[in-house]
Structure 1
Amino acid sequence: MNYLLSNFVFGRGVFSVYLKFLILSFLYLFSNVVFAAIGVDPIDRFYDSSKVITSVKTTNNYGNGYVLQEYTEISGSQIREYRNLLGQLFAVAWSGPVLPDLKKLISEKYLDDPILVGPQLSNRVISTKKGSLVIKSQGRMRFFKGYAYDLNILPSQFDLRLLE
């Protein structure tokens, strides 16, 4: 029985090739939707039902040392995540009618600063640098935009104007 199962999955028959193709296709399709926080290795991010992602687009820019992943939340907010070739998120930019949850976009190790978690965050302009993290955010009701990046893991070829 064990021989039959190993031949079935790992053999060279048509069905075995088809099964391998299905498994690899499934892994490829769902491996591109990985989220992380700045400065942290990629991890799965779980959203509550009010922040479901409606679309995802991935653009490989290996020549410049990064991969861009864009997605839109159900609220209409657009998020652009930039990863280096190791898969680490080094920059994130956002725009839309709702300010995204910065704790999910930026690693919580950076968010102990009162200026970043204050109650009036959505009603002002923030331009701050904490260690290697730079955050710029501005907005008013129904229009927010901003970006954050980590200088320590920023690829040398990356143009910061892409974040604006």
Structure 2
Amino acid sequence: MRRAFSLLLLLSLLQGARAWAALGSAPSDFGSPATQTRMAARSLAAASATSTTTTAPAAVYTVSQSTLDGGTVVREYMNANNIVFAVSWKGPTLPDLRTLLGDKFAVMTSNAAKRPKAGHSQLAVDQADVVIVSNGHMRAYAGQAWIPSALPAGFDTSTIE
């Protein structure tokens, strides 16, 4: 029993070592190289539209979209320095939120622990350092998270898909 526990502990530590934190840092690594090759990933250059009467510069960012093995689509919004400032997910399975949210995962879990368990399938966290909105049920999950202070000038959070 002790050997099995030690092995499980070692495996969990190794798994955490290969995952990158996404929100607030570099884009995610969603698993092994074999898993990554099965992802349909593309990068899109995007700029938000600004009115001619507004002097705010257009928000320039890149969106990286991955379709995970379970069919869930994950989008990571990165600034010019390749730092993820927002993420979203939608699909039949939850992505690895620990990897996707990085150090903001602890904020989500601590807020989720404060809520009553019965009948609640949504979570909303609105703090100065992170906003997380997650909802869904089996085979239909969706959510998004962003760091308000890291949003490019002129970026509209309603454009996060």
Per the normalisation by structure 2, the TM-score is 0.67
Q: Which residue of 2 aligns with 1:19?
A: none
Could you say what the CA RMSD is over the residues aligned between the two structures, in angstroms? Answer: 3.0
Q: Which residue of 1 aligns with 2:145?
A: 148
Partner residue of 1:115 out of 73, 90, 111 = 111
Q: Which residue of 2 aligns with 1:126?
A: 123
Cα distance between partner residues in 2 of 1:84 and 1:92: 12
Bigger-Rg structure (1/2): 1
Q: CA deviation at 1:108?
A: 2.4
Cα distance change of structure 1 residues 149 and 143 upon mapping to structure 2, 3 Å threshold: same
Q: CA deviation at 1:132?
A: 1.2
User: Aligned pair count?
Assistant: 128
Q: Which residue of 1 aligns with 2:81?
A: 86
Flag as ranges the 4+ runs of structure 1 deviating above 4 A. 48-53
Q: CA deviation at 1:109?
A: 4.8
Per the normalisation by structure 1, the TM-score is 0.66
1:97 and 2:115 aligned: no
Structure 1 unaligned spans of 5+: 1-34
Q: Higher relative contact order at CA 8 Å, sep ≥6: structure 1 or structure 2?
A: 2
Structure 2 unaligned spans of 5+: 1-19, 48-57
1:77 and 2:61 aligned: no
